[in-house]
Amino acid sequence: MLEEQNGSKTFIIFELAGTTYAVRSRLVQQMEMIEEITPVPNAPASVEGVVFSRGRVIPALNLRVRFGFERIPIDLRTRLIVIEVGERNVGLIVDSAREFISIEASAIQPPNEAISGLSGKYIEGIATVDNRIVLILDLSEVINLAEILIGDQPAHTGAQPAKQG
Amino acid sequence: MSIAGPEKNSEFLAEFLDDYFAESEEHLAGARRGLLALEHFVHQSNIDRASLDGLFRSFHSLKGISGMVGVRAAERLAHQMESYLRALRDWQATLSPEGMDALIAGAGLLEKIISEHRAHAPITDPSQLMARLDAIISEARNNRPVDNSTTGSVSTEPDPLRTSLQALAIGDGKNVWRFDFVPKPELSARGINVNYIRAGLQQVGELMHAAPRVTPEGGIAFEFLVSTSEEITSFPDLFDDGVTYARQVLLPAGGAATVDVDVAAAPVEPMTASYQALSSRASNMVRVDLARLDELMRMVGDLVISRSRLDERVKHLEAALPAPEWRPLQETSLAMERQLRDLREGVMRVRMVPIGEIFERMQFVVRDLAREYEKQVKLELSGHQTEIDKFLVERLMDPILHLVRNAVSHGIEAPNERTALGKPREGTIALRASAAAETIVIEMEDDGRGVDAEQVIARACAMGIGIRGRGAGAGARGSGVGAESISGPREYEKLTEAKIEKAENIDSAELLELICAPGFSTRAEADRASGRGVGMNVVSNTIRGLGGTLELKTEAGKGTLFRIQLPLTLAIADALIVQAGHHRFAVPQASVREVIQIDASEIKILENNDVIVYRGAALPLLRLTRLFGLPEDQREYFHAFIVGSGLNTVGIAVDRILGQREIVVRVINDPLIQVAGVAGATELGDGRAVLILDAAALARPAEGRRIAAHNNGLPRPSNKSVESRTDA
């Protein structure tokens, strides 16, 4: 409703490893507390498992692992942010999330190479809201398949089957 | 034919296009049945009138509806076929074998053209076949016994159906009115289309006839004949809707002939078609998009899950409340379960169609191939009323077609050879279908020479195809003739050895595996009907993709039997719920052959493989905990379920079997969670996702080991253990 009005856009902001991130609320389907995630054998390390969301089976992606932070146990503050990008639905596991904010388009700057850290290439822009610095995520990069499947192999990857002949 | 400005009328046509494809399918099926009946009359001239009329109507309708949507090639061809049928009927011409062939070829070509139109593919030119038909018709004309010199060309006769109906009604003292409707975009904008008009006319009286025709301007118009018992002189409402009308009268002297009086419209073109199918016959039938049924099925699935949630809650209450408090709830829940089962079956039944559709087509395939290979073959069908999911019908056509082709070209011997063997000259192919519990069984059996194991092995060796599990390496199936599926020269030697020493020992599952290998062909040179080397591989992949299994039984000199087993439905299945490493998994019951309990001491280790003795043979045992890298407890006993067949039989060991229940299969779409050995996910009522195991994938040695190796970094086990099993 407020979306795209007066040059401002609405975002969901969440915390991850002490940093504040924002995702476009338009791409967020829902946000829920995490009860249980069913692990999937042989899935990439950042894929914690599967959950049901509105009758669909979706992957739960641990954003800490995805961005190279340390994994922490799921607690009461942990949230699953279910996003819809293109045809895909993915749940993002984040430390905590609760705010819904509107950011003026003019308050968003392109990412500064010097301050983009581990999550650098997933950052679409940087905004300052109430003296807080918020990193705006490019969700299609965050759930980029090729990168997760190839670049982010399971930690316990064993020997690949040797080719015969 | 251009249909009144394609742009203006595109919406109007789109409305018809889906109907067109569905309806042409029906008419083609009718035509095929009619042609089979007609075949008994080859070389005869007194052909059963009913058979001819039925066929005539099918082609007539195909012509009409094809013309309506502008599939000119189909329209012309159907017209020509109709002309020949008319010649047979009206001139009592003798049905020549060439004529029969042309009719069958025509039906096939019509189907081809229509599907090409559907696929927006280039359309095959029917001219050659039409010329053939033309020659046959000329011959029939020259030989006709009685010269009933009324018309020079058959195609200008008035539509006999319409004429007789009209005569009948008028003779009955009814008034017959003719209505003409020309669809226009501005009418369409008001919601007035042919369906609307048809419905309106049905209020006026009895709709006797409805047909589209092409106006001289190249547009499209519909004419309707309606009989009324009341004296009505005008239809002002209809006139507002762009309909013109005129009363029809019977000329007393003209016998059955009628003329249209005061009709301002252009004379009816010969290309008129019966529009009956849409108007009357279909009145109590509904065509439904399969996607809508899928949606319905999904909703039923949601209900099943909600009910199991309810059940779960009731179980909690049982512990906390006195019986009179929870019992009514429990009863309601159980009643709901039964009702849901009925609902689910009801929805499934809507999707079911008889398999006879596929079987009947095989009649033609067998007929054509038998001629081509100069063999005598009869096809016996049974269980063609067996109903299967529409989704499966579409996908089963090609596999069954291929099996039947193989049977005629490879299986059945030439008549002289059969006589020499003491077999009947005519070979028999039997196609059988039956439904058993949750599965459909389709069998194709021939009484031919059987699959020659030695020849197959020799060919396999020559082509470098190995049996997985026999030699040193196991390759992934369906990966093509790549490094993984051929295991190196060492392997062929092994195979050759196996052939010399124990050719009879090759079991049918191994044989099947060889003939289903990618690229396998028993013929040095591929021929048209079979042996293109892609066939059996595609057959087995298709069937596996549908969650089914393919089995082979063959005996040298006696015949071959292929058995296809498929799950009745894909969305809801009975499953075993198992537990391994503190996780629950669902295993579709259809894939489980048996459940056994194993004492830990019974497990023998052969070069890193767990093996148990099962029914007197060694059975490889895969532990789910290891396959999936789950925590493993020290256990005194395990449960295992047996899956796979032949050399792919394995036991999959789990910590315990928790029970058996109905599950709703949810597909996994996101590639991040698509992993080998997992077929989908389900929910058991507690909101948690439970993975559904793909037992067949786990049973395939290559995949099973790959999953394990991927997970544990274990060296690839050798398959000595498998060999020891064959020796046992």
Note the pLDDT of residue B661.
Answer: 80
CA distance B474 to A40: 25
Burial class (CB in 10 A: 0-12, 13-18, 19+), B342: exposed
Helix (H, G, I), strand (E, B), or coil: what is residue B547? coil
- Tokens linked to B263: 């009709």
Count of beta carbons in the 10 Å neighbourhood of residue B254: 10
> Least CA distance to B710: which residue of chain A?
A158
Q: Is the pLDDT of residue B551 over 80?
A: yes
Q: Which of B673, B684, B686, B719 to mutate to test the interface with A (most CBs of A within 10 A)?
A: B673
* Contact assessment for residue B137 and residue B83, using Cβ atoms and an 8 Å cutoff: yes
Give contacts of A160 with chain B, Cβ < 8 Å: 709-710
pLDDT band, very low/low/confident/very high, at B457 (cuts 50, 70, 90): confident
- Tokens linked to B368: 């054509």
**Which residues are registered as beta bridge partners of A11?**
A24, A101
Q: Are strands A8-16 and A19-24 parallel, antiparallel or unpaired?
A: antiparallel
Flag whether residue A41 sits within 8 Å of chain B, measured between CB atoms: yes
Mind telling me how many Å the CA of B34 is from chain A's nearest CA? 47
B675–A58: do the CB atoms touch at under 8 Å?
Answer: no
What length is written for chain A?
165
CA distance A3 to B419: 84
B716–A52: do the CB atoms touch at under 8 Å?
Answer: no
Tell me what the mean pLDDT of segment A112-129 comes to. Answer: 72
Tell me what the mean pLDDT of segment B20-40 comes to. Answer: 84
Helix (H, G, I), strand (E, B), or coil: what is residue B180? strand
CA distance A92 to B727: 53
> Which secondary structure element, helix H or strand E, spans residue B210, and what is its range?
strand B206-214
CATH topology of domain A5-151: OB fold (Dihydrolipoamide Acetyltransferase, E2P) (2.40.50)
Mind telling me how many Å the CA of B456 is from chain A's nearest CA? 22
B713–A159: do the CB atoms touch at under 8 Å?
Answer: yes
Could you report the predicted ipTM of this complex, rounded to two decimals?
0.83
Give contacts of B687 with chain A, Cβ < 8 Å: 35-36, 52
Mind telling me how many Å the CA of A89 is from chain B's nearest CA? 8
Give the tens place of pLDDT for each residue, B645-656. 777 788 999 998
Helix (H, G, I), strand (E, B), or coil: what is residue B104? helix
* Contact assessment for residue B631 and residue B538, using Cβ atoms and an 8 Å cutoff: no
Q: Is the pLDDT of residue B336 over 80?
A: yes
The C-alpha angle with vertex A21 and arms to A19 and A22, in degrees rounded to 5, equals 165
Higher pLDDT, A7 or B10: A7
Picking from B629, B681, B707, the nearest residue to A156 by CB comes out as B629
Q: Which of B670, B675, B690 to mutate to test the interface with A (most CBs of A within 10 A)?
A: B670
The DSSP symbol for B635 reads -
Backbone Cα Rg of chain A = 17
Note the pLDDT of residue B721.
Answer: 32
Picking from B629, B668, B711, the nearest residue to A57 by CB comes out as B668
Note the pLDDT of residue A3.
Answer: 42
Sequence-separated (6 or more) residues with CB below 8 Å from residue B235: B177, B179, B204, B243, B245
Q: Is the pLDDT of residue B314 over 80?
A: yes
**Which residues are registered as beta bridge partners of B443?**
B432, B563
Give contacts of A153 with chain B, Cβ < 8 Å: none
Sequence-separated (6 or more) residues with CB below 8 Å from residue B295: none
CATH topology of domain B6-155: Four Helix Bundle (Hemerythrin (Met), subunit A) (1.20.120)
Mind telling me how many Å the CA of B641 is from chain A's nearest CA? 20
CA distance B636 to B621: 15
Q: Is the pLDDT of residue B501 over 50?
A: no
Flag whether residue A161 sits within 8 Å of chain B, measured between CB atoms: yes
Q: Three-state SS across B238-285?
A: HHHCCEEEEEEEECHHHCCCEEECCCCCCCCCCCCCCCHHHHCHHHHC
Rounded to the nearest integer, the mean pLDDT of chain B is 74
Give the tens place of pLDDT for each residue, A54-90. 767 899 999 999 888 899 998 889 999 999 988 789 9
Give contacts of B489 with chain A, Cβ < 8 Å: 165
Give contacts of B487 with chain A, Cβ < 8 Å: 164-165
A165–B688: do the CB atoms touch at under 8 Å?
Answer: no
**Which residues are registered as beta bridge partners of B39?**
none
Residue ranges of the domains in chain A?
5-151
Q: Is the pLDDT of residue B548 over 80?
A: no
What strands, in cross-sheet order, belong to the sheet with B549-555?
A: B377-382, B427-436, B439-446, B559-567, B549-555
Flag whether residue A111 sits within 8 Å of chain B, measured between CB atoms: no
Helix (H, G, I), strand (E, B), or coil: what is residue B2? coil
Higher pLDDT, B19 or B126: B126
Note the pLDDT of residue B525.
Answer: 43
Flag whether residue B583 sits within 8 Å of chain A, measured between CB atoms: yes
Note the pLDDT of residue B257.
Answer: 37
Closest CA to B217 of B175, B178, B184, B176: B184
CA distances (Å), origin B567, targets A45, B299, B473, B544, B570: 34, 20, 32, 11, 7
CATH superfamily of B355-567: Histidine kinase-like ATPase, C-terminal domain (3.30.565.10)
* Contact assessment for residue B418 and residue B425, using Cβ atoms and an 8 Å cutoff: yes
Sequence-separated (6 or more) residues with CB below 8 Å from residue A79: A14, A31, A32, A33, A34, A93, A94, A95, A96, A97
Residue ranges of the domains in chain B?
6-155, 160-281, 290-352, 355-567, 572-727
CA distance B9 to B78: 25
Closest CA to B278 of B209, B329, B352, B337: B209
Q: How many CA atoms lie within 13 A of B570 on its CB side?
A: 18
What length is written for chain B?
728
A50–B488: do the CB atoms touch at under 8 Å?
Answer: no
Helix (H, G, I), strand (E, B), or coil: what is residue B660? strand
- Tokens linked to A125: 């822009």
Amino acid letter, B479: S
Helix (H, G, I), strand (E, B), or coil: what is residue A47? strand
> Which secondary structure element, helix H or strand E, spans residue B415, and what is its range?
helix B415-420
Q: Are strands A132-137 and A19-24 parallel, antiparallel or unpaired?
A: parallel
Higher pLDDT, B104 or B309: B104
Flag whether residue A43 sits within 8 Å of chain B, measured between CB atoms: yes
Q: Three-state SS across B24-81?
A: HHHHHHHHHHHHHHHHHHCCCCCCCHHHHHHHHHHHHHHHHHHHHHCCHHHHHHHHHH
Q: Is the pLDDT of residue B151 over 60?
A: no
Flag whether residue A54 sits within 8 Å of chain B, measured between CB atoms: no
The DSSP symbol for B151 reads -
Burial class (CB in 10 A: 0-12, 13-18, 19+), B617: middle
How far from each other are the two terminal CA atoms of chain A, in whole angstroms? 63
**B160-281 placed in CATH 3.30.70:** yes
Helix (H, G, I), strand (E, B), or coil: what is residue B567? strand
Q: Three-state SS across A90-147?
A: EEEEECEEEEEEEEEHHHEECCCCCCCCCCHHHEEEEEEECCEEEEEECHHHHCCHHH
CA distance B720 to B718: 6
Closest CA to B178 of B189, B190, B169, B186: B169
Note the pLDDT of residue A83.
Answer: 93
Number of A/B CB contacts below 8 angstroms equals 122
* Contact assessment for residue B440 and residue B565, using Cβ atoms and an 8 Å cutoff: yes
pTM of the complete model: 0.46
- Tokens linked to B525: 């040179």
Taking every pair of Cα atoms in chain A, the longest distance, rounded to a whole number of angstroms, is 66
pLDDT band, very low/low/confident/very high, at B214 (cuts 50, 70, 90): low
Give the tens place of pLDDT for each residue, B418-437. 999 999 999 999 999 988 76
B486–A145: do the CB atoms touch at under 8 Å?
Answer: no
Mind telling me how many Å the CA of A96 is from chain B's nearest CA? 22
**B572-727 placed in CATH 1.10.10.410:** no
Q: Tokens 């096939």 sit at which residue?
A: B108
Query: Please, which residues 482-541 of chain B have a Cβ atom closer than 8 Å to chain A?
Result: 483-484, 486-489, 491
Flag whether residue B369 sits within 8 Å of chain A, measured between CB atoms: no
CA torsion angle B541 B545 B546 B550 (round to 10) = 40
Note the pLDDT of residue B231.
Answer: 67
A52–B689: do the CB atoms touch at under 8 Å?
Answer: yes
Quote the crossing angle between the two packed helices B6-38 and B97-118, to the nearest 10°: 150
Q: Is the pLDDT of residue B72 over 50?
A: yes
pLDDT above 70 as % of chain B: 72
Burial class (CB in 10 A: 0-12, 13-18, 19+), B218: exposed
Give the tens place of pLDDT for each residue, B155-210. 334 455 555 555 555 656 667 777 888 777 777 777 777 777 777 777 777 777 77
Give contacts of A55 with chain B, Cβ < 8 Å: 298, 301-302, 666
Q: Is the pLDDT of residue B4 over 70?
A: no
Tell me what the mean pLDDT of segment B660-674 comes to. Answer: 81
Q: Are strands B427-436 and B377-382 parallel, antiparallel or unpaired?
A: parallel
Picking from A90, A161, A164, the nearest residue to B706 by CB comes out as A161
Give the tens place of pLDDT for each residue, B577-590. 999 988 999 998 87
Burial class (CB in 10 A: 0-12, 13-18, 19+), B666: buried
Picking from B489, B676, B709, the nearest residue to A158 by CB comes out as B709
Note the pLDDT of residue B8.
Answer: 42
Mind telling me how many Å the CA of A143 is from chain B's nearest CA? 9
Alpha helices in B321-430 (DSSP H): 323-351, 356-372, 390-406, 415-420
Amino acid letter, B419: T
The DSSP symbol for B713 reads -
The DSSP symbol for B666 reads B
> Least CA distance to B585: which residue of chain A?
A38
CA distances (Å), origin B38, targets B52, B73, B151: 8, 24, 26
Helix (H, G, I), strand (E, B), or coil: what is residue B570? coil
The alpha carbon dihedral of B197, B199, B201, B204 has a sign of negative
* Contact assessment for residue B225 and residue B177, using Cβ atoms and an 8 Å cutoff: yes
Note the pLDDT of residue B10.
Answer: 54
